[in-house]
Chains A and B, each alone.
Chain A
Amino acid sequence: MQTADEKRNFASLLKSGANVINFGMAGFYDDLKKQEIPVVQMDWTPKTVNSNLLAKLKMLKKS
């Protein structure tokens, strides 16, 4: 549930126009760009975690 203050802040944000920083998938950036909304694309992908290696390291630390 939004408070009255939060609602006012959100409305004011939309009134002044959104400035977007998009992380990851470029599709969101492209859509906003088409709608002429100021947007910056951050070249970022989540780190791939080798869960098998992490599990083995955990076992090693327990030993």
Chain B
Amino acid sequence: MVDLQSANRQALQILLDGRPFLVGMGTARDVIPGMCEFGKKILLHAGPPITWERMSGPMRGAVMAACQYEGWAATADDAVKLAEEGAIVFDPCHHHHAVGPMAGVTSPSMPVFILENKTFGNRSYVNMNEGLGQVLRMGAYGEEVITRLRWMEETLYPVLRAGIEKAVREQNGIDVKSIIAQGLHMGDEMHNRNKAGTSLFLRAVIPYMIEANADKTALIESIRFIDKNDHFFLNIAMAAAKCSLEAAHDVEGSSMVTIMCRNGTDFGIKVSGLYDKWFVGPAAQPDVLLFPGFTKDDVNRDIGDSAIMETYGIGGFALAAAPAIVQFVGGTPQDAANYSLEMYEITIGENSIYSLPAFNFRGSPTGIDIVKVVETGITPVLDTGAAHKIAGKGQVGTGIVRMPSEAFEMAAEAFVEKYLD
């Protein structure tokens, strides 16, 4: 018989002990494990496994963009043909210690950040955030998208990589946990608001970028690009969450969730004490604040690996830290606080580093417990972006989305089957 409480305490402690540092950058094919082992064209994507046939519009749009960016297809139609012929291997980012926001499509030539959990030595990977508007992760695949991705590879990547490598030589990397902790005290919740995190990241890396780069034009363009994109830090924070949670996976007897993610069709979770098994149900239909010109019918099902932020105990779970976000996602500051309070009902404990000023610096609710989710009927809340369901149309809005219960119930059934004698 399992000691549930003890196992969950252990899993949570591993999660809380994680010290994610940004330790470098590289090209996906060179640094992400398993990215080249298939001998075929491989694209990583957000969420649990999915085939081309079941992919939603924004996921398909991101695939079309990635195929053009890689030079595998001259047009979006050519990319569709490739996918239909089965010429592309699709695999979740999570199968490769990686994460990706929204569609999460990561292709072999993309530059990626490398994060390391200094306590346990495991690494995670994530590509760079492109900004808002017509971007690959929202399913856009026009020329503007491909041009930006190439600029990010040819100009931003070498400038940023040189700065980060210098930071690694001089101070062992950039302490991402510290940036997240400070950001939560400066109005971020780290999913839909990363304004403070991005600013703090720039402060941390700019001196090294200046010292390491002689090309002033490229340097200025790179700094301006990051400065104009409030979400730039999101991807780095997601990878920090990933390498922290991955260390807490495989704790025998623990019912703590280590992955929550969506691919625009399905919502999937993994649980620490349930090996490598996916538990999958339909993704939520977001009911969000829409940008002008869009209707509810335009909204795709929930999408992205960014649910890793809530799995980590921030994002929607730390909404109380971000009163400024409520105008962006809908509601009042009291609503934001209520969401955070509700999440204490389904978590194992409170965060030892990430705290919420509005609750007298109480630790954020951390470590989702599938047993508590099923017993209370309360499912996790995310504050997230929403994509148009037609490929190429981009983002339609943003808001609060509650995760569906099916995957948690399936996981609880499997947990009972495994551990109840």
| Residues of A in contact with B (beta carbons under 8 Å apart) | 47, 49-50, 53-54, 56-57, 59-61, 63
Contact = CB atoms under 8 A, between A and B. Distances in A.
A53 to B, nearest CB: 6
A56 to B, nearest CB: 4
Interface in B399-419: 405, 409, 412-413, 415-416, 419
B371 A63 contact: no
B420 A54 contact: no
Given A53-B413, A53-B416, A56-B420, A61 B371 contact: yes
Contacts of A57: 371, 374-375, 412, 416
Contact of B1 (A53, A54, A63): A63
Contacts of B375: 54, 57
Contacts of A59: 420
A60 B419 contact: yes
Contacts of A53: 374, 409, 412-413, 416
Contact of B377 (A49, A56, A63): A49
Complex A-B, nearest 10 residue pairs according to Cβ-Cβ distance, in ascending order: A63-B1, A56-B416, A47-B377, A60-B420, A57-B371, A56-B420, A61-B4, A53-B412, A60-B4, A60-B419
Contacts of B5: 61
A43 to B, nearest CB: 11
Interface of B: 1-5, 371, 374-375, 377, 405, 409, 412-413, 415-416, 419-421
A54 B374 contact: yes
A60 B413 contact: no
A10 B375 CA distance: 38
A57 B375 CA distance: 8
A23 to B, nearest CB: 16
B40 to A, nearest CB: 41
A60 B377 contact: no
A51 to B, nearest CB: 11
14 contacts: A50-B374, A53-B409, A53-B412, A53-B416, A56-B416, A57-B374, A60-B2, A60-B4, A60-B415, A60-B420, A61-B5, A63-B1, A63-B4, A63-B421
Most chain B CB within 10 A, of A54, A59, A60, A63, is at A60
